[in-house]
A and B are shown apart, each in its own frame.
Chain A
Amino acid sequence: MPDLIRLEYRNVTMRFTQGASRLTAVEGVSIAVRDGEVVSLIGPSGCGKSTLLNIGSGLTAPSEGEAFVDGERVEGPNEHVAFMLQKDLLLPWRTVAENVMFGVEIQGVPAAERRRRAKSLLETLKLAEFSGHYPHQLSGGMRQRVALARTLAVDPTVLLLDEPFSAVDAQTRMVLQRELAQTLQRAGKTALLITHDLLEAVTLSDRVLVMSRRPGRIIDEIPIEIPGRDDPLKRRLHPKVAGYVNRLMERLDIGHLETTGAPV
């Protein structure tokens, strides 16, 4: 069922009140992500991308509109969604394997099944030999891979990824991007990927959504018509990439920002 909608935002508006001041973070955002699709969301910082992620994962309720996951209205945290942030959020007192099992443990999955899932994920993400290590013994890239394993361990249908690789170095990032792309492809997961990296958005996704400055609205939607979504390293070399990146730069007003200085 390729047209089944896994994640949907319907006319979502989010306002924050802080003391006397009211701030509209996102306004009238509608997004629909189909089964197995990977959609990137890019936009200037502070335009409400993380806010949308929090709404999708059920951590905050929108001021207006609603979010749906697997056809169900999001009323709070639920098993269909899992998120991963720029911060790995590993617990320092847990080993790698124990960290991977954190979510399934809370969800009450039986111990034997927890260990089975952790073991197989650690193997696919090339972390098996580190399963007994503590987070401080790992590099940033490895820690992020453990975080990905923890996210996948709860077997969500939808992954919400908030700048997952922006804190790792450029080379490790490319490796992690390929691993993510392959894992998403293999497991047929649906994902919404928030990123600042235009090339990452183009090479990893089926579609890129561009948001405006605050109050964030969707101002453009670019389908990426390059084959081989599971191999971003190869996709990166495709001649169409430059055109997409260029269009994103235009939509984000990047050349303009440089000449006039960044607006507030």
Chain B
Amino acid sequence: MNGSNHSLAIRGTTLSVALLIVFLTAWQWGPGLLRIPPFIIPPLSAVFNEAVRMWNVSGLAFHTGITAAEVLAGFILGSLLGASIGYLIGMSPTAEFALSPYILALQIAPKVAFAPLFILWMGFTIYPKILVAILIVFFPVMVNVLTAIRTVDPDLINLARAFKAKRAQIFWRIEFPASLPPLFAGLRIGSTLAVVGVVVGELVGGNAGLGYLLSFGEGQANTAMVFVAIVMLTLVGGLAYLLVILIELRVLHYLPKRAQMGF
């Protein structure tokens, strides 16, 4: 729309690409120049070769798929649960008053610490990993929805009431749409946290997923393998985040562009 914004985007992209090239170059030749042994930091090419080997021999695609599926399941279920509870509590001040100490306690508790417990309960399956992800995604989504419902301008509610709006109309026409921008902010945080939850679950126990490859690589002192797993995890997390952004751009299309792109 305006020239200075456009040239800012071009300059920014150029700089980003340049930084990437510098980073990859440093990764490839830096360790050699600084005499860092490959079992501490393997050069880029070694990591790439390891990735190809893992793809062909160690089922890298399979493990990535498992992790991605767990992340997706945990993220979707955790978001649905968080949003629903957020709306329910947000609509009932009594419920909020009664539940807030427990919510706070659960929010403070480190959710990943539940991973061993869930594995004891459900064995080396995908379920404990999904459950950790649900638990960790739940809170930012719920808290954002709750805060949004609570901070809706009371004059807006009064306006609707003056038109004789029923409770359901107030919810669907005012409170729900007003909660969407904070909900999406919560979903963005949730999408990255889901990966954390799943990886911790996989690290604690099991024989599938990128977290499993992480600990397997560690056991073998295969540093390149650990790097490959980290890169793949970042990709999975990045895809989940991108998915949220794409949906958000469609749903919140009415917001000014600048407010929308704040990553």
| Chain A interface (Cβ < 8 Å from any Cβ of B) | 54, 57-59, 77-79, 81-83, 85, 87, 89, 91-94, 102-103, 105-107, 134, 136, 154
Q: Cβ of A57 and Cβ of B256 under 8 Å apart? A: no
Q: Which chain B positions have C-beta within 8 A of A54?
A: 158
Q: Apart from A77-B164, A89-B155, what are 7 other A-B pairs with CB-CB below 8 Å? A: A79-B164, A82-B163, A85-B155, A92-B254, A92-B255, A107-B164, A136-B254
Give the Cβ gap from B44 to chain A, nearest Cβ, in Å: 46
For A154, the chain B residues whose CB sits under 8 A away are: 163
B162 touches A59 (CB 8 A): yes
**CA–CA, A85 and B155, complex, Å:** 9
Q: Is the CB of A106 within 8 A of B173?
A: yes
Specify which of B156, B161, B169, B177 is in contact with A59 (CB 8 Å cutoff): B161
A selection of 28 A-B contacts at a CB cut-off of 8 Å is: A57-B162, A58-B162, A59-B161, A77-B161, A77-B162, A77-B163, A78-B164, A82-B162, A83-B159, A87-B153, A87-B155, A89-B155, A89-B159, A91-B156, A91-B174, A93-B177, A93-B180, A93-B254, A94-B254, A102-B160, A102-B163, A103-B163, A106-B163, A106-B164, A106-B165, A106-B173, A107-B163, A134-B254
- In the docked arrangement, what's the CA distance between A87 and B157, Å? 13
Interface string of B220-263 (1 = CB under 8 A from A): 00000000000000000000000000000000001110000000
With the chains together, A87 CA to B163 CA distance in Å? Answer: 17
Identify the 3 closest CB pairs spanning chains A and B, nearest first. A106-B163, A103-B163, A106-B165
Query: In the complex, what's the smallest C-beta–C-beta distance from B170 to chain A, in angstroms?
Result: 9
Nearest CB to that of A85 among chain B residues? B155
Closest to A104 in B: B163
Q: Chain B CB within 10 Å — which of A77, A94, A105, A106 has the most? A: A106
Report A-chain residues with C-beta under 8 Å of the C-beta of B255.
92, 136
Interface of A is mostly: loop
A90 CA / B153 CA spacing, docked (Å): 11
Cα A85 to Cα B13 with chains together (Å) = 45
Total interface residues on B, CB under 8 Å, equals 19
Of all chain B residues, the one with the shortest Cβ separation from A60 is: B158
Chain B residues in 8 Å Cβ range of A89: 153, 155-156, 159
CB 8 Å contact bits of B157-187 with A (1 = contact, 0 = none): 0111111110001000110010010000000
B162: A residues at CB distance < 8 A:
57-59, 77, 81-83
* Chain A residue nearest in CB terms to B165: A106
Whole-angstrom distance from the CB of A59 to the nearest CB of chain B? 5
Cβ-defined contact, B177 with A106, below 8 A:
no
Give the CA-CA distance A50 to B12 in the complex, in Å.
51
Q: Which residues of A have CB within 8 Å of B161?
A: 59, 77
Residues in chain B near residue A87, CB distance under 8 A: 153, 155
Closest to B169 in A: A106
Determine how close the nearest CB of chain B comes to the CB of A192; give it in whole angstroms. Answer: 14
> Nearest residue in B to A82 (C-beta to C-beta)?
B162
CB neighbors of A among B140-159 (8 A): 153, 155-156, 158-159
Interchain CA distance A85-B156 in the complex, whole Å = 10
Query: B153, B164, B169, B174: which has the most chain A beta carbons within 10 Å?
Result: B164
B contact residues around A77 at 8 Å (CB): 161-164
Q: Which residues of B contact A136 (CB under 8 A)?
A: 254-256
In the docked arrangement, what's the CA distance between A83 and B254, Å?
26
Q: Which residue of B lies closest to A90 (CB)?
A: B156
Q: Which residues of A contact B155 (CB under 8 A)?
A: 85, 87, 89
Chain A residue numbers with a CB within 8 Å of B164 are: 77-79, 106-107
Contact of B160 among A57, A79, A81, A106 (CB under 8 A): A106
User: Complex formed: what's the CA distance from A94 to B180 in Å?
Assistant: 14
Do the beta carbons of B169 and A91 come within 8 Å of each other?
no
User: Which chain A residues border B163 with CB–CB below 8 Å?
Assistant: 77, 82, 102-103, 106-107, 154
Which residues of B are found within 8 Å of A91, using beta-carbon distances? 156, 173-174, 177
How long is the Cα–Cα vector from A117 to B185 in the complex, in angstroms? 37
Q: Which B residue's beta carbon lies closest to that of A136?
A: B256
CA distance A91 to B172 in the complex (A): 13
B36 to chain A, nearest CB (A): 52
* CB proximity to A under 8 Å, residues B17-61: none
Bound CA span A165–B164, Å: 25
Please indicate the chain B residues that have their CB under 8 angstroms from the CB of A102 in the complex: 159-160, 163, 173
- On chain A, the residues within 8 Å of B156 by CB distance are 89, 91
Least Cβ–Cβ distance between B165 and chain A, in angstroms: 5
Query: How far in angstroms is the closest Cβ of chain B from A225?
Result: 34
Min CB distance A138 to B, Å, is 12
Q: Chain B contacts of A106 at CB under 8 A?
A: 160, 163-165, 169, 173
